[in-house]
Structure 1
Amino acid sequence: MQENQIIEYEEKLRKAMLTSDVKILDELIHDKLIFVNHFGQVLNKEADLEAHRSGVLHFTDIQVLNQSVIPLDDTVVTVTRVSLRGTVGHDPIEDEMCYTRVWHNIDGALKIISGHCSTVK
């Protein structure tokens, strides 16, 4: 798996998060996703998609500050630090966050099977 391929997937994910494109997010997220958000809550795929679908989570800007890619056979781990702005519910957010994602190659398509997000202080 090439590093530029996973960077393209990460960019596709970033754009889908910005536009709350649930169709693309659905394609990129594995059905058995386990995601731990910055509150320590464990979310599955449907909860992640519903946050975008309902508008509870809305990003207005996501800028990648740096990114590391670790390819491992049919799996890739990414660590991405971003600056983001948006809203969660009615509360504005403007933070730096660090996302760790585990992408797995399933029949030629990369899907996020696990992830974690932390606020950078």
Structure 2
Amino acid sequence: MEHTLIQAVIDAEQQLRSAMVCSNIETLHDLLADELIFINHLGHRVSKQEDIALHQSGLLSITSIALSGMQVHAYGDCGLVHVNADITANYQGAESNGCFAFSRVWLKKGQKVQVISAQSTPVVA
């Protein structure tokens, strides 16, 4: 089961990356848990609804995300991800390009996994 959960989380991470770049609201809705709390690179707590609204409104526009150094660990029904992301984006009218370290907690719910907690930290060279 651990290997199956890890593979599901890896697959979901790729789906999330793609959905963020394309602002695919339907996929984001499926991958983000209703109780999501995301602490963004500015230290702000963002809910699922707020995150999706940023994509819908165009206040968040992501051109590219390149993931590296992904580590995934399974703990019961949870998958923990640590990954670096080199992102080219515009956030609330300002360039937000750079490398960010992400931590995400994925929870297995039935046959799918959803992000319930996430945090982004700028990586300073």
TM normalised by structure 2 equals 0.93
Shift, 1:90, TM fit: 2.0
Shift, 1:66, TM fit: 1.3
Deviation string 1:48-78 (CA, Å, 9 cap, x unpaired) is 1001111101110100121010101100010
| Alignment correspondent of 1:11 | 14
| Alignment correspondent of 1:40 | 43
State yes or no: 1:57 paired with 2:60. Answer: yes
Identity %: 26
- Unmatched tracts of structure 1, length 5 or more: none
Among candidates 61, 86, 98, match of residue 95 of structure 1: 98
- Unmatched tracts of structure 2, length 5 or more: none
Superposed CA RMSD: 0.9
- State the SS of the aligned residue for 2:88: strand
Among candidates 24, 29, 40, match of residue 27 of structure 2: 24
Deviation string 1:56-115 (CA, Å, 9 cap, x unpaired) is 011101001210101011000101101010111221221000110000001121000011
Query: Take 2:89 and 2:46, find their aligned partners in 1: how far apart are those partners?
Result: 20
Shift, 1:6, TM fit: 1.3
Query: Take 1:53 and 1:26, find their aligned partners in 2: how far apart are those partners?
Result: 12
Residues 79-118 of structure 1 correspond to what in structure 2 (within 5 A)?
A: 79-118=82-121
